[in-house]
Structure 1
């Protein structure tokens, strides 16, 4: 019986060994899959950390660029405001000078009267507007003076 027992125990030992080998192989396969997954995740984490560093650097550069652009914009606004003040002052001065020019021109035209033999001639500008002006002869008698004035239009 002892031999029989050995024969009976042998298949169960073989089955146990086979089953242990299968479990070990399955465990090793799972272990390898887990190791590959961990390595893949580790590589992904490293890539993400590199991306975080790169994006942080780019964000800092963009922030600095925005700050410099903002400062340039502020300087440009100030420069434009100063230019507008200068242009307004220039326009005001130009207007005043233009008024002075026309005033002096008018005064010069008025003073260009010429006297010939007791006849005083005035230059009348804008004659079309003043054509309706009619004057009779004006007489002024004083004890020592007689003044006679009449308007006539000279086509010179």
Structure 2
């Protein structure tokens, strides 16, 4: 009987150890299940945050794309305003014209490569209510003077006083 008690005690200890092991495993399963739910919730929140960020980025890209044409339009308008100011500022009414050609080296290179053959001056007038005209400069020449000389032409333009002026133009 003593042997049975020892044997029984041995099995009871094994059973207690196994029960404790099962309890530990059960606790681990519960803890891991809770952590898994927490991580699943965190992943879902991050996924929603990522989708929201993608939506914000798409909206930003659309706004930026919409700004491009507006910026180009404003740039063109600014260029036109500058041109009008320069045109008004440098317009003379005495038949004389002093013309400064800016960026002459670049324009010479463009003329030699035939990208831009000529440049125009701002308009000027022969008198306060006179003929409207401008100069046209071929930096690499025109016609027989091509590649050997510069060519300068005088061009009459449609002006606001044409109806009261004598035609054909015969001034020297």
TM-score, normalised via structure 1 length: 0.65
* 1:135 Cα offset (Å): 4.2
Q: Which has the larger radius of gyration?
A: 1
Alignment partner of 1:114 is 2:92? yes
Shift of 1:122: 6.2
Q: CA deviation at 1:110?
A: 2.4
The alignment yields a C-alpha RMSD, in angstroms, of: 2.6
Query: Is residue 113–residue 122 contact of structure 1 (8 Å, CA) maintained in 2?
Result: no
Change in CA separation of 1:50 and 1:134 when aligned onto 2, cut-off 3 Å: same
Q: 1:60 aligns with which of 30, 34, 37?
A: 37
The TM-score, its normalising length taken from structure 2, stands at: 0.60
Q: 1:126 to 1:28 in 2, by over 3 A?
A: same
Q: Relative contact order: is structure 1 or structure 2 higher (C-alpha 8 Å, sep ≥ 6)? A: 2
| Unaligned runs of at least 5 residues, structure 1 | 1-23, 137-141, 149-156
Cα distance in 1, alignment partners of residues 91 and 21 from structure 2: 101
**SS at the partner of 1:134?**
strand
1:146 is matched with which residue? 170
The runs of 5 or more residues in structure 2 that have no matched partner are 108-136, 140-149, 155-165
Secondary structure class of the residue paired with 2:171: strand
Would you tell me which structure has more helix in proportion to its own residues?
1
| Aligned counterpart, 2:49 | 72
CA separation of 1:143 and 1:42: change in aligned 2, threshold 3 A? closer
